Structures are given as structure tokens and as C-alpha cells.
């Protein structure tokens, strides 16, 4: 962040007032953004499935939010507004990295450690299956199950009608079920 010195009013003819207003604007954005960083990171990680990609996406979303901060008319709507920016940023990251498959070292190390508990196996299987879904399917599932949003809130976050959000969620469920059923080991086959 670039610090700006306030010039006395008598010399600048009002520049100090602009700097003060700009400083207050910056502090307001920073406070709201910091309050929502953890949730934004969790959402980005759920969509992208990669902690370092999620960090990059949230960073990019904060920059985009700052650039578009003047377009937010009601600061009380910051959470929904910023969530939409995070979702769109994640969508851009998924599309940009569609062909490149990366694995976070921390995640890979965790997967390599022997652990035969059923819950861990299921979680890994679900995460791998989610990674195979289209970005829009991952986004709608992440908003529903990782952010626990209702259909109307999902619709608002994606700027689509509620009926479309319901349909997309149902379609994403079906696609996830299909992928999961294909990865289930068949009984009697070794």
C-alpha cells in the first residue's frame, strides 16, 4: 500500500481533504475485506481444490474488489458483492488453468501418508471427483455445501434466477454422483 502524505489545506487547496477521504475509503475497504478473508479463502479452496491456487484467487479478488470498490453503493451488501467477485475470480482461475494440473506439496504429502480410515478415503474420493466437474458445477456445489448458502443466495451470488440455481445444483449433484459411482470399487473385483 502506498502511503500518501497529507498536504496542509493552506498550501494544497483541498488536497488534504481528498487524502483524508481516500484514507477513510481505504480503511473501510480493508476492514470489510479482512473480515471476509477466511470465508473467501474457504470458498476459493472448495472451488479450486488447491490451497495455493485459492490464496492466489482471493488475492486477485481483493485487488478486483479494491478497483471496483466505488461501484458498491451499499457497504452492508459487501459480503454478497465480494463473494461474487471471489466466485468469478475462481471461475477465471479454473478456465485459465484448465489444462495444467498441479498438486500442492502439503496436500500431496498428506495423501501419501498411510491412513486407512474410511472418512479420509471418502473425503479424498469426493475431492478428486469434484476436481473432475466443470467449473460452474464446482462453484454451485461449493456455494451450497461449503458456504451453506440457500438457493436464493446462490442465485444472487451467480446473478442468475433461483430456478436456474436449483437446476444447476441438481445437475451438479447428478454429475458428481455419476463420477463417484464410476470411482467406487466394484465388489468381488480386485
Structural domains of the chain ordered from first start = 22-183 (1.10.10.10)
Residue 34, helix vs strand vs coil:
helix
Instruction: Give residue 181's pLDDT.
Output: 86
CA-to-CA distance for 172 and 177, rounded, in angstroms?
8
Instruction: Give residue 18's pLDDT.
Output: 57
In whole angstroms, how far apart are CA 142 and each of 54, 80, 83, 121? 13, 15, 12, 20
Torsion, CA 125, CA 112, CA 49, CA 187, rounded to 10: -10
pLDDT < 70 positions in the chain: 1-18, 98-118, 184-190
Which contacts of 23-29 are long-range, i.e. CB under 8 A and separated by 24 or more positions? 25/69, 26/1, 28/75, 29/65, 29/66, 29/69
DSSP single-letter state for residue 171: H
Amino acid at each position: 500500500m502506498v502511503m500518501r502524505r497529507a498536504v496542509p489545506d493552506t498550501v494544497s487547496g483541498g488536497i488534504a481533504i481528498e487524502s483524508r477521504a481516500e484514507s477513510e475509503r481505504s480503511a473501510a475497504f480493508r476492514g470489510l475485506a479482512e473480515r471476509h478473508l477466511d470465508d473467501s479463502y474457504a470458498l476459493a479452496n472448495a472451488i479450486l481444490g488447491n490451497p495455493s491456487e485459492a490464496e492466489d484467487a482471493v488475492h486477485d479478488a481483493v485487488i478486483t474488489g479494491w478497483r471496483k470498490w466505488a461501484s458498491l453503493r451499499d457497504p452492508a451488501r459487501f459480503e454478497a458483492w465480494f463473494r461474487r467477485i471471489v466466485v468469478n475470480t475462481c471461475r477465471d482461475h479454473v478456465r485459465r488453468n484448465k489444462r495444467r494440473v498441479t498438486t500442492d506439496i502439503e496436500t500431496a504429502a498428506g495423501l501419501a501418508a498411510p491412513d486407512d480410515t474410511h472418512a479420509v478415503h471418502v473425503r479424498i474420493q469426493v475431492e478428486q471427483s469434484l476436481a473432475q466437474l466443470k467449473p460452474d458445477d464446482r462453484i454451485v456445489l461449493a456455494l451450497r455445501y461449503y458456504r451453506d448458502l440457500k438457493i436464493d443466495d446462490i442465485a444472487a451470488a451467480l446473478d442468475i434466477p433461483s430456478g436456474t440455481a436449483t437446476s444447476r445444483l441438481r445437475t451438479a449433484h447428478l454429475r458428481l454422483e455419476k463420477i463417484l459411482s464410476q470411482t467406487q470399487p466394484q465388489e468381488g473385483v480386485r
